[in-house]
Amino acid sequence: MSTVVGNVIAGNGKGGVLVDKGVHDSVLSNNLIGLTANGTPAGNGLFGVHIEAGSHRNTIGPGNEIANNGTGIQIRPDGLAPPGPQERPPVRV
């Protein structure tokens, strides 16, 4: 469980935020993702936020500004564990 609040996440070659397998009950809110503190575009290469299968009960928002990235929010629907395919809860975005 993590809380990621009030950050500037910009200019990364691959991506901004990875919500990996097994991550749960985390909150990502009020961040600038792909923008500098003054609003200048500074995108992340592949994605702003990437959510892996097997993460669950995570909240993306409120208050994030996600712009100028290869993909804003990318959700990977395949993966092994945890949890198994029948146990995978919906992702709240």
Span between the terminal Cα atoms of the chain, in Å:
17
Per-residue pLDDT of the chain (93 residues; tens, 9 = 90+): 889 999 999 999 999 999 998 999 999 999 999 999 999 999 999 999 999 988 999 999 999 999 999 999 999 887 555 544 444 455 454
Please give the distance of CA 72 from its chain centroid, rounded to a whole number. 9
Q: The whole model's pTM is what? A: 0.81
In order, the DSSP letters of 7-69 are -EE---SSEEEEE-TT-BS-EEES-EESB-TTS-B---SSEEEEE-BTBBS-EE-SS-EE-SS
Tokens representing residue 37 in the block: 């503190």
Helix (H) or strand (E) run with residue 66 in it: strand 65-66
